[in-house]
């Protein structure tokens, strides 16, 4: 799956443009040039090039199912013998082995179960592709948000530094104060440059996945979906695929256990011609492979071992997937709460900055107090962004454990429909 997933992302990245008909309407009321997460992942329908790149295993399963449903062709034979001094013999025969030994029906059921497992895995891979799109979009939007926060800090510190420099020039401020502001501005400029480089990398990756987006598009930071109250591990798509694999191996083991085949039936017509004498009659025959030595012993051993392995994988996965879902849900709840608290604190920084700036300009606080306050306030904003990033990553990890997307309120979506929603 890993190779096919990488191939899907590369296929998407190398596509020069997406066809307009592959991008469904989202009904968004966002201004032009503003991109939401839902709009970013919206094109991942059945026709998307990256989704089609994941369909090789599904195609093989569909082919196996079609082959299992197809009856064996009859065999038509014709031969003529004309030895010297003997009548000329002409034979027409038609031979066919009816699928009445039970193996045909069990083979169909096995491949149908395998096809269902392949479809489920296809949806798991498709959900993984959606998760990759979400990761890229989150990095893009959060990098842009970091850049905006640092730009605001840079503008504020630059304004204060310029005012301090003018005051120092006329003797109203010490030269040391002006130099400290200049140092603070240089520190912020360095952080802003690093943030801009990260934003440029994230934007390039996002536009590689969505080359149809206009240059200069601005992403909206995704909301954090509310944590679900509980999740049933039995709803895991990964577990469903393993269960269908187990059904397939059961049918396959039953199929190979039937080593007695149905006889091949043959009908035809024989004609004898000699010196004006023309005679003929029907041919009726049956051939049967007597299972004296070869009773598919190897196939039966293999099928039994494969069935045992599939059952063991399913048993092991039940506890493991349940633990993963429980742990990742607990992690998301914790990070969701932490992100909410960090956002609340960051929302109060504007008043803190205004009050600290006014107090310094009024001479009620020192330069050291002002610079410390500014650093703390903007650090709180960056921590809120980092907390949002961690919570979004935890939500993607939770969906990865389930093998399918989560909808609004934490319920599971239908595997064939990719929906998005949540609350701040």
Q: Is residue 280 part of a domain?
A: no
DSSP element (H, E) containing 280: strand 277-287
Calculate what percentage of the chain has a pLDDT beyond 90: 59
Q: Which of 46-55, 134-143, 157-166, 410-419 reaches the highest mean pLDDT?
A: 134-143
**Residue 31 in tokens:** 């201004």
DSSP letter (8 states) at residue 193: H
220-242: average pLDDT: 91
Contacts 24+ apart (CB under 8 A), 249-253: 249/110, 249/303, 249/306, 249/307, 249/310, 249/311, 250/307, 251/106, 251/107, 251/109, 251/110, 251/113, 252/106, 252/107, 252/110, 252/303, 252/306, 252/307, 253/300, 253/303, 253/304, 253/306, 253/307
The mean pLDDT value of the chain amounts to: 85
pLDDT of residue 173: 64
Q: Is residue 7 part of a domain?
A: yes
Q: Is residue 123 part of a domain?
A: yes
Q: Is residue 421 part of a domain?
A: no
Q: Is residue 345 part of a domain?
A: yes
Q: Is residue 423 part of a domain?
A: no
Q: How confident is the model at residue 4 (pLDDT cuts 50, 70, 90)?
A: low
Lowest mean pLDDT across 73-87, 110-124, 368-382, 396-410: 396-410
CA-nearest of 199, 186, 195 to 154 is 186
pLDDT of residue 407: 65
198-218, pLDDT tens digit by residue?
Answer: 999 999 999 999 998 887 889
Q: What is the distance between the alpha carbons of residues 160 and 163, in angstroms, rounded to a whole number?
A: 5
Q: Is residue 424 part of a domain?
A: no
52-73: average pLDDT: 94
Lowest mean pLDDT across 59-63, 104-108, 369-373, 381-385: 369-373
Q: Is residue 364 part of a domain?
A: yes
Lowest mean pLDDT across 124-128, 162-166, 373-377, 403-407: 162-166
What CATH number is attached to the domain comprising 307?
Answer: 1.20.1600.10
143-190, pLDDT tens digit by residue?
Answer: 999 999 999 988 888 888 777 777 667 666 667 777 787 788 888 889
pLDDT of residue 30: 56
Specify the pairing of strand 75-81 against strand 34-35.
unpaired
User: Could you list the residue range(s) of the whole structural domain that residue 51 is in?
Assistant: 2-69+101-259+295-410
Say if CB 178 and CB 164 are below 8 A apart.
Answer: yes
288-347, pLDDT tens digit by residue?
Answer: 989 889 888 999 999 999 999 999 999 999 999 999 999 999 999 999 999 999 999 999
DSSP letter (8 states) at residue 172: S
Residue 46 CA neighbour count, 13 Å, CB half: 5
pLDDT of residue 414: 45
Interacting residues of 41 by C-beta distance below 8 A, sequence separation 6+: 130, 133, 134, 137, 418, 420
In the chain, the number of structural domains is 1
351-362: average pLDDT: 86
């Amino acid at each position: 799956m890993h190779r096919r997933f990488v191939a899907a992302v590369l296929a998407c990245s190398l596509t020069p443009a997406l066809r307009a008909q592959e991008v469904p309407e989202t009904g968004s009321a966002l201004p032009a040039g503003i991109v939401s997460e839902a709009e970013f992942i919206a094109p991942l329908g059945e026709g998307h090039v990256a989704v089609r790149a994941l369909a090789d295993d599904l195609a093989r399963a569909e082919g196996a199912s079609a082959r299992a449903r197809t009856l064996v062709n009859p065999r038509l034979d014709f031969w003529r013998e004309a030895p010297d001094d003997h009548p000329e013999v002409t034979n027409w025969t038609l031979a066919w082995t009816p699928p009445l030994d039970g193996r045909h029906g069990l083979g169909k059921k096995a491949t149908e179960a395998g096809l269902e497992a392949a479809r489920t895995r296809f949806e798991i891979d498709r959900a993984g592709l959606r998760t990759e799109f979400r990761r890229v979009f989150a990095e893009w939007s959060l990098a842009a948000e970091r850049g905006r926060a640092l730009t605001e800090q840079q503008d504020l510190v630059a304004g204060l530094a310029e005012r301090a420099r003018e005051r120092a020039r006329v003797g109203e401020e010490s030269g040391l104060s002006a130099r400290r502001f200049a140092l603070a501005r240089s520190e912020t400029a360095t952080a802003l440059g690093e943030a801009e480089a990260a934003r440029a990398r994230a934007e390039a990756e996002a536009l590689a996945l969505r080359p149809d987006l206009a240059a200069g598009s601005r992403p909206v930071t995704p909301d954090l979906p509310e944590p679900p109250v509980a999740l049933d591990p039995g709803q895991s798509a990964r577990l469903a695929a393993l269960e269908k694999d187990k059904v397939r191996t059961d049918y396959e083991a039953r199929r190979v256990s039937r080593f007695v085949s149905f006889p091949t039936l043959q009908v035809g017509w024989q004609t004898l011609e000699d010196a004006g004498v023309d005679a003929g009659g029907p041919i009726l025959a049956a051939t049967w492979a007597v299972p004296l030595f070869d009773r598919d012993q190897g196939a039966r051993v293999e099928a039994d071992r494969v069935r045992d392995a599939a059952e063991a994988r399913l048993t092991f996965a039940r506890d493991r997937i349940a633990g993963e879902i429980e742990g990742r849900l607990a992690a998301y709840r914790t990070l969701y709460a932490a992100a909410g608290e960090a956002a609340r604190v960051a929302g109060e920084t504007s008043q803190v900055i205004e009050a600290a700036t006014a107090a310094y300009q009024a001479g009620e606080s020192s330069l050291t107090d002002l610079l410390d306050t500014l650093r703390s306030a903007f650090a709180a904003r960056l921590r809120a962004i980092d907390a949002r990033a961690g919570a979004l990553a935890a939500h993607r990890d939770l969906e990865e454990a389930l093998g399918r997307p989560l909808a609004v309120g934490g319920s599971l979506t239908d595997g064939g429909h990719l929906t998005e929603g949540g609350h701040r």
